[in-house]
Amino acid sequence: MDSPHINPFLKRTKSTVHISALYSDLKDGKISALSKAITLVESTAVNDSAFAKGILSKALPHSGKSFRLGITGVPGVGKSTFIESLGKQLIASGKKVAVLAIDPSSSITRGSILGDKTRMEELVKSDQAFIRPSPAGTTLGGVARKTREAIILCEAAGFDFIIIETVGVGQSETAVHSMTDFFLLLKLAGAGDDLQGIKRGIMEMADLIVINKADGENRTAAKHAKREFQNALHLMPQKNQYWSTKVLTASGLNNEGIEEVSEKLKEFIAITIENGNFKKRRDKQELFWLHQTIEDRLKSEFYNQTNIEERIKDLESQVLQKRITAFEAAELLLGH
């Protein structure tokens, strides 16, 4: 009757050993251990959640020592080619590069825009690189959380340059901006993907705009677009006193302009470390995610109540018939 398999103490000992071994491999930079740890964190299985918490709490004190770069751009702008080019250069300069993706559309379309297996073929071969497609999830909040936890694990595994990539789906750019030290926007010259089509919010978030595919016949158009963006930025309030959004041209395919991008990143790091804003931005992000998680949790607890949709519908019609005020209805729903 007293099966050792259900002895909770034995189970706990087993998990402790398991976590320690996995963490020790992760800390040694073993890619397989890092992959496994991220899979645990991404898992929705109840049994995995204790493991995930255990490994994260071990990793947390060793996290934070990286540069987190957010990259966004429409599909086809050349993100993976650009990241491959930049990544190879970073590795040549002694960095360990992890590339994570945020793509909440993968859960909706069941096929990720970013998840193509052939992406970054060369980078993926390097043992100094780690590439992970977007975690699946039904909400951006869920996907973002898993990505933030993956960042912690990558950092504990010694990756000192983390690239978080996204396409502009819904609010995913805002999420990436809220978890990175620097936000890079890739654009194309002409092709309707110019100033008219750009969301103002994205311009405000960007620390650097790179007009990509500035090669061949596209060179002149790219230079023109660069000037256009610079002029537009002049008309906007400066991002902050210590950094104004820069515009560069590059060709990920021909490896041109990538060095200049790296230089800008170095310049930004030097300035923000010196004036304390590097840490300030990170601290602000930590608190943002704390409050965001509370909000998300409260919302999902509320909307997951049984019959909540019917109750909302019923109270909505009562509000519209002026039988009850909107505030009273809300209070009733919230159970006050």
Residues making contact with ligand GDP (CB under 6 A): 73, 75-81, 212-213, 215, 251-253
Q: How many Cβ atoms are within 10 Å of 103's Cβ, its own excluded?
A: 25
37 vs 162 by CB, closer to ligand GDP: 162
φ, ψ for residue 236, nearest 5 deg: -95, 155
37 vs 225 by CB, closer to ligand GDP: 225
187 vs 213 by CB, closer to ligand GDP: 213
Residues 167 and 113: beta-carbon distance below 8 Å:
yes
CB of 256 to ligand GDP, least distance (A): 8
CB of 37 to ligand GDP, least distance (A): 26
CA distance 32 to 26: 8
68 vs 213 by CB, closer to ligand GDP: 213
CA dihedral 178, 181, 183, 184 (to 10 degrees): -150
CB of 3 to ligand GDP, least distance (A): 52
Measure Cα distances from 286 to 64, 192, 236, 336 in Å: 11, 37, 28, 31
φ, ψ for residue 117, nearest 5 deg: -65, -25
CA distance 315 to 236: 44
157 vs 261 by CB, closer to ligand GDP: 261
CA distance 80 to 116: 10
CB of 157 to ligand GDP, least distance (A): 25
CB of 253 to ligand GDP, least distance (A): 3
CB of 258 to ligand GDP, least distance (A): 10
CB of 167 to ligand GDP, least distance (A): 7
103 vs 155 by CB, closer to ligand GDP: 103
CA distance 154 to 26: 9
Burial class (CB in 10 A: 0-12, 13-18, 19+), 31: middle
CA distance 286 to 168: 23
155 vs 165 by CB, closer to ligand GDP: 165
Of 151, 150, 141, 198, nearest to 174 by C-alpha is 141
77 vs 164 by CB, closer to ligand GDP: 77
Residue of this chain nearest to ligand GDP (CB atom): 78
CB of 250 to ligand GDP, least distance (A): 7
Sorted by sequence, the CB contacts under 8 Å of residue 325 that are 6+ apart come out as 319
